[in-house]
Every structure is written in C-alpha cells, then in structure tokens.
Structure 1
Amino acid sequence: MIELKTPAEIERMHVTGRFVAEVLSEVGTLADVGVNLMDLEHHVRGMIERRGAESCYWDYAPSFGKGPFRNVICLAVNDAVLHGLPHDYTLRDGDVLTADLAVKIDGWAADSARTVIVGTPAEEDLRIIRATEEALEAAIEAARPGNRLGDISAAIWAVARDHGYPVNTEFGGHGIGRTMHEELHIPNKGKAGRGLKLQPGLTVALEPWFARTTDRIVFDDDGWTIRSADGSRAAHSEHTVAITDGDPLVLTRREHESAAGRLPAKNSCDVE
C-alpha cells in the first residue's frame, strides 16, 4: 500500500536526509588513496551511533541477498555499483567509489548515494558520474504532481541515451518512508505518461545508475556486490525526494551541492 506523507512527516524525513547527506559528504572527503573500505565502514558506524540513528542495512535480508547484510554502508569500487559489501580493500589512485547510505532517525528513513573518484580522475569516469547526476536531476524535475511514474523513468532514460549508456531495469528507485523500501519500483527506463499518477505526499528514492558498456549485471561470491557483467566501470547517484504541491523537495541534498548535483569538494567528480 502506498502511504502519502503529511508535511510534518516529510519534515521528519528531511531531518534524516540531512544526516545522510552529512555522512556521504564526509565519506567523499575521507575517500583517498591508501584508505581501506573497512576504515570508511567503521567511521560511518561511529557517526550513526553518535547521532542515535539506525542503519537500514544492518541485518537487511532481501530475497536477492546472501544472508543478512552486516554493514552500515554500501561501498562499491570501479565495475561494482550496487550493494557493495565493505571488505578489506585499500583504495588506489583512479578508483571510482560509490557510497550508498540509508538510515532511520526517530522511525523515518532517507536514502542517498554518490560516486566519487579517488585521486587522479579519468575523463571517462568523470563523464559517467556526471551522466548519473544529470539523470538524477532530470528525474527530480519530473517528480511533480500530475506527472506519472513513467515520466520519471523516461527522464532518466533520455539522459542515458544522450550519453550512450545502456540502462538496467532490474534495480532502480523505490518508495521510502517508515522503511527503506516501500511500495513502488521506479525503473531507470520507461515511457512517459505511463504508471501511477504522482501526488503530493509521495516520497521516493530516485537512483539512476549506469555502466559504460552493458546493462547486464553479475553478483560477487559475497552474494551482495553487483558488478557490470563486462567489467566496465559504473556510477550511481541517488536522492530521497518528496513530491509537494510545488517544486520537488530533495531531502538528502548535500551542503554546497549545486542544482546539477555536483559538489566542489575534494574527490568529487568535479576534479579537473
């Protein structure tokens, strides 16, 4: 059942969203050559504990996963893009790191992801990250009352086509609120004018992700980490968004992030 949120409930989600944004900003700053993924995992655990938040990932056990997820953040490197299980890996110059975080505060969830480059950026990596950010902003712009879910999917797909990236539809956006995953699947490819009509109070996590040369995926032996099937590098951008009577409200917007989704901070995709 789809649950529309009141303005007061959306504000409570916004509190959570601001914290998620703060954590992802810090992860992006800390991600550097020589840093181990488990160092980032433990740093985020500390931030969650100090805030009194609750990880949405710890003990998460969906049908596609291999046992309960026993970490608080997803960290995926290079050709890995979704559900990256933190492990003993030391970041190298030029690595592409995707960090995905969902937590609850006082019973309300928010979910966001960003991809950053560690050290020296390659133009091809900058391009795919920027494409996911552009697609996310296009999806947000389509998240208006009177539009339909298909308008969001079509907006993401249009950006992918413009950049020449194939689109996987197995994993995409979703409803969010009292839990990380509520009713609604929002594929990253679709036709405008189709699907559920959007209403004020609907809260969704929009998350375009692309791999350079394939729409097929494979799972690591850990049963969680999803990679591009051909080993091509990938990127992922995500925000939690509330549909209002006016403009869409991005609940996980990071400080200093522009309307194009980009951050000027070190290790962001804007490194020249």
Structure 2
Amino acid sequence: MIFLKTDDEIELLRQSNLLVGKTLAEVAKLIKPGVTTKELDKVAEEFIRDNGAIPTFKGFPNQNGDPFPSTLCTSVNDQVVHGIPNDIPLKEGDIVSVDCGTYMNGFCGDSAYTFCVGEVDPEIRKLLKTTKEALYLGIENAIHGKRLGDIGYAIQQYCESNTYGVVREFVGHGIGKDMHEDPQVPNYGKRGYGTLLKKGMCIAIEPMITLGSRQIVMERDGWTVRTRDRKCAAHFEHTVAIGVGKADILSSFEYVEQVLGDKAI
C-alpha cells in the first residue's frame, strides 16, 4: 500500500533527511587514507543521537532475520551496498559508498553518497560522476502524472549509454514512517509503464551502478553485496517527494559538498 503524505508530513520527512545530509558531511570531514569505516560509523551514530534521532539501519533485519550491526552501510570499491563497517583502513585510491538512515519525529531519512579516498583513478571518478548525474535524471522524472518506469528508464539509459551496469536485484523504495514502504523504485524500466506517480508520494531513488557487469554476489555475512567481476560500483541516493512539475528533494548533498569543496564529484 502506498501512503500519500500531507505537506506537514513531508516537512517532518525533510527534517529527518536533512539530518542525514549533515551526518554524511560529518563523515566527509574524516574520509582519508588510514581511517577505518568503523571510525566513520562511530562518529555518525554519535552525531545522529546528539541531534535527537535514531539510526534506522542499526538492528534492521535482513532476509535471514539477522540484525544489521551498524549505523552506516559502508561499501568499499567492489562492494555495491550494505557493507558493514570494519577495522580495515581505507587506502589511497579507494572509493566508499556511505548510506545513512535516521528516524526522527516519527519519520525516516535515507540518503547515500560515494566518496573518493585521496586521489582516485579518473575512470572510477567518471563512474561516480555518471551515477550521480543519473540520480538527478531520475529525479527529473519524479513528478505527478509520470510513472515509475520513467524514473528507471532515465537512469538505465544514461548509465548503459556510458557502458556501465545497472544493478537490478536492489532498488529504491517508498519512505515515510517506515524506512521501506511501497512502491519499489527500480533503476531500470520502460517509459510510460509502472505505478502512476502522485503528489504526496515520497520515494528514495538510489542508482547502484557498476563499472563492469551488473552481476552481483552476496557475501557470507548475509549483508554485503559485491560485483561478481570485482570491478567498482557507485551508489548515490536522495529521498524525494513527488511534485507537480518538479520533484521536491528532501535530502541534501550540499553539506557534504561544502566539506569536499573542489574535490566533490
């Protein structure tokens, strides 16, 4: 069931999502060679709780019922999504996707950004740039009267035209009082097909794009998703409210990009 949100509920969603953006900015301040993803996770959890919110990922069950152990999903290089923070130091040239969720005032926030660690190969930077651009192309189609397939089509066409793979097994989602609500929001599709988009729908759009094949594998931990060919993957995510003529982006990369300056993707 799809729940349409009132204007007041959308403002509460915005507050939760802006906190995610600010949390990602705190993480951005720390990302460099030698730092561990567990250190990033500790800072993020403290920041979220200090701002009166709860990290929604921590304790969230997977399909086996195992709870996610951390506040952030930190997916490094060939990890696509749901990487678990650990004590392995990041290296020069790595990339790390940081996905973060909050719960505050009864509503959820969800956003992700893929960061460069030091100087990154130009081929990899192009993957990140294309994935981020694809996210905004999807958002351009998140308007009243269009269909879900229009969002997926825009993302898929742009990424595949750049010879990248589009992950199909993991998708975006509706969001509101629960982190994952209907509808599912694929990053592939046909124009004019799928659920009709209506004002008041709130969705998380999150392209997961691979440098090589789109084929993925699940690690034994039951969470971490990797590319089968071990090539890098990028992941960017915004929460948006479907609008009339234009989508309303409820999350924000502005805080992150203030920190990164000219190193932003």
TM-score, L = length of structure 2 = 0.96
Look up the equivalent residue of 2:25 and give its one-letter code: S
Matched pairs, number: 265
5+ residue gaps, structure 2: none
Which ranges of 4 or more aligned residues in structure 1 deviate by more than 6 Å?
A: none
Secondary structure at the residue paired with 1:144? coil
Secondary structure at the residue paired with 2:166? coil
Secondary structure at the residue paired with 1:102? strand
Hey, what does 1:78 align to over in structure 2? 77
Look up the equivalent residue of 1:115 and give its one-letter code: T
1:167-210 per-residue CA deviation (whole Å, 9 max, x = no partner) reads 12110111000011001111111100001110000000000011
Separation in 1, partners of 2:15, 2:31: 25
Separation in 2, partners of 1:188, 1:87: 29
Look up the equivalent residue of 1:4 and give its one-letter code: L
Look up the equivalent residue of 1:127 and give its one-letter code: K
Contact 1:73 1:86 in 2 (8 A): yes
Separation in 2, partners of 1:238, 1:117: 16
Hey, what does 2:49 align to over in structure 1? 49
1:8-49 per-residue CA deviation (whole Å, 9 max, x = no partner) reads 100000011111001112212211111011111111111011
Separation in 2, partners of 1:223, 1:268: 34
Contact 1:112 1:240 in 2 (8 A): yes
Match status 1:136 vs 2:135? yes
Hey, what does 2:105 align to over in structure 1? 106
Hey, what does 1:180 align to over in structure 2? 179
Secondary structure at the residue paired with 1:265? helix
Q: CA deviation at 1:255?
A: 2.1
Q: CA deviation at 1:221?
A: 2.2
Hey, what does 1:265 align to over in structure 2? 260
Contact 1:74 1:86 in 2 (8 A): yes
1:76-101 per-residue CA deviation (whole Å, 9 max, x = no partner) reads 11000200111111011011010000
Hey, what does 1:237 align to over in structure 2? 236
Hey, what does 2:18 align to over in structure 1? 18
Hey, what does 1:8 align to over in structure 2? 8
The percent of aligned pairs where both chains have the same amino acid is 38
Separation in 2, partners of 1:190, 1:263: 34
Contact 2:48 2:54 in 1 (8 A): yes
RMSD: 1.6
Contact 1:126 1:269 in 2 (8 A): no
Q: CA deviation at 1:55?
A: 1.4
Look up the equivalent residue of 2:38 and give its one-letter code: M
Cα gap change, 1:126/1:72 in structure 2, threshold over 3 Å: closer, same or farther? same
Match status 1:218 vs 2:247? no
Look up the equivalent residue of 2:205 and give its one-letter code: L
Look up the equivalent residue of 1:37 and give its one-letter code: T
TM-score, L = length of structure 1 = 0.93
Hey, what does 2:93 align to over in structure 1? 94
